[in-house]
Chain A
């Protein structure tokens, strides 16, 4: 009689064991992922000087941009308002990033070589975005 009862209960016991095992696995997964996530995701960004040192040559504020990590480098340009700006994309700039675009000042030019100059006059102060024609390379134009 006792044997029969314990035999009948065994599937229920088994199920409880299985659920507990699964729960244990899930808890271990969560702990493992949290620990490794803390280690692998807790990082500070790589710092790099990212502001243009522009030079004033005659009437133009000259800026040379190159390419780093698939973006314009430096990607922050500081210029003075109402003074013409001349931007040159050096030979490291490739692909769609050679097509330079500043919506707020109506600039949209394809610079085929590093001899092509992109010129415009920023006539309002503020912070504006510049980008390539596909929006893959972006940066900030600060007009002071």
Chain B
């Protein structure tokens, strides 16, 4: 019953679907804008970057609602907080690292993945204090490195296959995290307001950074 409730009736959780839609709309609008003014003049833009950009935008649209969901409640018990820090840090490090390393090489992918992962890991992990923060840092650090390493190792095997599989596993994990947050917080009445500006701002920033680094950013010798 509680799972059904999570899917149907809770207002904050219902907003998760809206947040996904807003994030997708914002990111795809930015991409379309950039494409028609600049990116279409880049040779082989769609074959080279289209697949990875598509999954990067989908990933951000799943990570941001979870980040927002945690920030609505802010305070959690240590165990839940550590789980939140670890999951958000790991996934928001792994996926961007995987996509960036597929086009720019392992160094750029690792640095970008680690930066995003550690940032969101700390931001969400601090909901339970220093333990969550540490967990977020470690998970972001490991996720960023692992994502880019996976990409490099799979480059001549089935890179696109592993991107799709990793994305779906991450989506299921994030869905589980949201359900856990809902279970932990359903009695809490005191909620913080996180408007749609949060989603739009972070979607724009992450998509813009990803496109910029992927297309114009530095790349390792092997990818030149």
Contact = CB atoms under 8 A, between A and B. Distances in A.
Interface stretch (B9-17, B92-100, B175-183, B194-202): B9-17
A25 B25 CA distance: 11
Contacts of A28: 21
A25 B21 contact: yes
Given A19-B8, A32-B21, A70-B223, A40 B51 contact: yes
B28 interface: yes
A29 interface: yes
A127 B222 CA distance: 28
A25 to B, nearest CB: 4
B33 interface: no
Interface in A25-69: 25-26, 28-29, 32-33, 36-37, 39-41, 43-46, 67, 69
Contacts of B57: 36
Interface residues of A, number: 30
B222 A44 contact: no
B24 interface: yes
B9 A36 contact: no
Contacts of B9: 15, 18
A35 to B, nearest CB: 8
Contacts of A67: 222
A21 B156 contact: no
A40 B155 contact: no
Interface in A53-103: 67, 69-71, 94-95
A20 to B, nearest CB: 11
B74 to A, nearest CB: 24
B200 to A, nearest CB: 15
A22 interface: yes
A122 interface: no
Interface in B13-42: 14, 17-18, 20-21, 24-25, 28, 31
21 contacts: A15-B8, A18-B11, A18-B14, A19-B8, A22-B14, A22-B17, A25-B18, A25-B20, A29-B17, A29-B21, A32-B21, A32-B25, A36-B31, A40-B53, A40-B54, A41-B51, A69-B223, A71-B155, A94-B221, A136-B155, A137-B156
Give 9 nearest A-B pairs by CB, closest first: A40-B50, A40-B54, A43-B47, A25-B17, A70-B155, A43-B46, A25-B21, A70-B222, A71-B156
Interface of B: 8-9, 11, 14, 17-18, 20-21, 24-25, 28, 31, 44, 46-48, 50-51, 53-54, 57-58, 152-153, 155-157, 221-223
Interface of A: 15, 18-19, 21-22, 25-26, 28-29, 32-33, 36-37, 39-41, 43-46, 67, 69-71, 94-95, 135-138
Given A32-B28, A37-B54, 12 more contacts: A18-B14, A21-B18, A22-B17, A33-B58, A36-B57, A39-B50, A40-B50, A40-B51, A43-B46, A69-B155, A70-B222, A136-B155
